Structure 1
Amino acid sequence: ETVFQPLLKDNLVAKGIVLSFITDFFKEYLVENSLDDLIALLKRGKAEDNLLDFFPSSKKSAEAFAEHFTKEGLLQLVQYNEKKMFEVKLTEMKSALTTQIAEQADVSEVIETVRHHMKEAKLPDVDVVRLLWDVIMDAVQWSGKNQQQNSNSALRQVKTWAKLLHTFCTSGKLELELMYKIQIQCYEDAKLMKLFPDVIRSLYELDVLAEDTILYWFRKGSNPKGRQTFVKSLEPFVKWLEEAEEEE
């Protein structure tokens, strides 16, 4: 388990000898062991987060890592590393946004932060939308028992950051993903269960969710989790939408 650290001698790394050795070791180890076993071994050897240290300086990049180990038939290691890097980038973005929202930064600054992270880390829109909702709701000051206070706090937060959500919910598909996210969160957190219709209505009034998205969700697009409860709770609002549509 301490075998990895002594390998990291600059001259051996620079010549590619270490990478060659470690590649052969990984391949041999995985003949009779699983990737999980290998990752556990790397963790114990404090090497899991530093696999690029085995690469010569000219090849210390995610692209070189993927190219090398794919070529060597270790695609599962490449996929594991990509997933890990993706999670790290999401966490970094969440941390930056959490700080900005806690400090009540201007919404335009927060939008720029999101765009920067999306560009740098190539983060998919859908993951960004889900993360934005998490960060916004995490900043709500929840009351233990006062449902009305919780409702007011959540809706105030939604209103404050509606422009942020609007900026990145750029399609019906992403709006629907936001509705799924809200539905699941309300399903999993008892104090939010009754907030669902108020939040959806607020997001509609703030131009984050389109009428078509809400109607699609209501008719056939909702997530199975708590579906009946949430559909029923949204019925009055949907009825109002449909009547308004007919009047037009």
Structure 2
Amino acid sequence: MPFSIFCYQELVAKSIESSDLNFSRYGDTFFEVVFVGGRTQPGTVKPEEGDRHPYSMLDCVAQRETILPFVLYIQKTLRRRPFLIKNLENVMRKFLQSLEFFEENERKKLAIFTALAFSQKLSGLPPETVFQPLLKDNLVAKGIVLSFITEFFKEYLKENTLDDLIALLKKGKMEDNLLDFFPSAKRSSEALSEHFIKEGLTSLVEYNEKKMFEVKLKEIKSTLTTMINDEAAIPEVIETVKQQVKDAKFPDLEVIRMLWDVLMEAVQWSGKNQQQNSNAALRQVKAWAELLNAFCTSGRLELELIYKVQTQCYEDAKLMKLFPEIIRTLYDQDVLAEDTVLLWFRKGSNQKGRQSFVKALEPFVKWLEEAEEEE
């Protein structure tokens, strides 16, 4: 069947090429014939009564093998007559805005066609043409858009990577708005994850969760940075951050990493004066130790803080020699327990600069061990 359609369309393409049809005037009609087999009636997506084209996209089986020939046929036509892309846009926009008037199986065919059109990089078809018309309130509310876009995603990802899909969504200005495809009653991250996992689109769920995480992280960091710069009272800062972390369901390990990043970013660093930088960093640690202490509520989180300090001291030249002093300060301020420091010293798993940092921390560890023996 696909082969016969393809051969037939080859003959039609050659016939059209040699004809004197007025495409400038009847471009929309041409694509309507390709899609539904005839010129559509005003205000509908149904073809007018009378003779219909024997092969139309909506008359074939809803699968890639039967729909791809139509995409390739249109692609060849557009190469010969590039100006027809505007007519294709017009017809696709019209059909996508009228999805409710198509049968469910017909909508699936349109979704597969659209996915294949982008997979084959159909000449000049802008993603906005597809995604923006879908956002009609009545179509979204009925779940029609979600069903369509799900079929689109599934078909597109058969031949393309998730990065390709995200790039396409960005061009269509939809990469941050996946929830807009969902009815308002289901417009939540949980509903999105549940739906796409059920449909086998786990990679899309992982992308969205990562995106949401980045957005929430940015919001929390922005709030904390503002409060630090405004010299807000530490108890107020703790309460605010705890509430945001709770609302965002933020992992506790990520909270520790985020707190340290923001505190260090808020330091007024000197260009070349190493001593000034050292003093500024240690002042910041002492000033905000209460904040760190409020979130380092277990040995596991304390160890994560040491790993974070270790990584930054390894990667930032101006902090390279400060590692033992920062750890000592965090210990003195009751942020780090003795057992945590000793655990890192003896069995720490972060290898970034570990050998030199262990050596630098030896005097402090020796002091801890001697104090422990005396007790």
TM-score (norm 2): 0.65
- Measure the CA separation in 1 of the matches of 2:351 and 2:225: 30
Deviation at 1:157, TM superposition (A): 0.6
Q: 1:221 aligns with which of 330, 348, 353?
A: 348
Q: Which moved more, 1:164-173 or 1:60-69?
A: 60-69
Further displaced range: 56-65 or 162-171 = 56-65
Q: Give the one of 125, 140, 143 matched to 2:270.
A: 143
| Alignment of structure 1 residues 161-172 onto 2, 5 Å | 161-172=288-299
Deviations 1:42-85 (A, max 9, x none): 01110111111111111111111111111111111111111111
Residues 1:83 and 2:182 are matched in the alignment? no
> How many residues were matched structurally?
248
Q: CA deviation at 1:19?
A: 1.0
Q: Distance in 2 between matches of 1:155 and 1:222?
A: 25
Correspondence for 1:22: 149
Whole-angstrom distance in 1 between the partners of 2:351 and 2:332: 26
Q: Which runs of 5+ in 2 are unaligned?
A: 1-126
The match for 1:103 among 219, 224, 230 is 230
2:278 alignment partner AA:
S
* 1:175 match: 302
**Shift of the alpha carbon at 1:113?**
1.4
Q: Find the structure with the greater CA-based Rg.
A: 2
CA RMSD for the aligned pairs? Answer: 0.9
How far apart are 1:225 and its partner, in Å? 0.7
Indicate the residue corresponding to 2:90 in structure 1: none
Amino acid at match of 1:78: V
Q: 1:92 to 1:243 in 2, by over 3 A?
A: same
Which secondary structure does the structure 2 equivalent of 1:143 belong to? coil
**Which range moved further: 44-53 or 142-151?**
142-151
Q: Distance in 1 between matches of 2:187 and 2:349?
A: 44
Superimposed CA distance per residue, residues 140-179 of structure 1 (whole angstroms, 9 cap, x where no aligned partner): 1111222221111111111110000001001111101000
The AA in structure 1 aligned to 2:362 is E
| Corresponding position of 1:58 | 185
Q: What is the aligned partner in structure 1 of residue 282 from structure 2?
A: 155
Please name the residue that 2:255 is paired with.
128
1:113 maps to which residue?
240
Write the distance in 2 (CA, Å) between the matches of 1:93 and 1:219. 34
What is the letter of the counterpart of residue 17 of structure 1?
I
Cross-structure match for 2:133: 6
Q: CA deviation at 1:219?
A: 1.1
* Distance in 2 of aligned mates of 1:12 and 1:217: 57
Moved more, 227-236 or 178-187: 227-236
Q: Which protein has the bigger helix share?
A: 1
Q: Which letter does structure 2 place at the counterpart of 1:47?
A: M
CA shift, 1:216, in A, is 0.9
Task: State the 4+ residue runs in structure 1 displaced beyond 2 angstroms.
Answer: none
Give the residue type in structure 2 aligned to 1:125.
D
What one-letter code is carried by the residue in structure 2 that aligns with 1:32? Answer: E
Partner SS state of residue 234, structure 1: helix
How far apart are residue 109 of structure 1 and its match? 1.1
Equivalent residue number for residue 38 of structure 1: 165
Structure 1 length as normaliser, TM-score? 0.98
Q: Distance in 2 between matches of 1:50 and 1:209?
A: 42
Give the CA deviation at 1:222.
4.8
**1:86 CA drift (Å):** 1.1
Query: How many angstroms apart in 1 are the aligned matches of 2:136 and 2:251?
Result: 38
Q: Give the CA deviation at 1:130.
A: 0.7
State the distance in 2 between where 1:26 and 1:223 align. 39
Bigger Cα displacement from structure 2, 14-23 vs 185-194: 14-23
Match of 2:331 in 1: 204
CA distance in 1, matches of 2:300, 2:185: 41
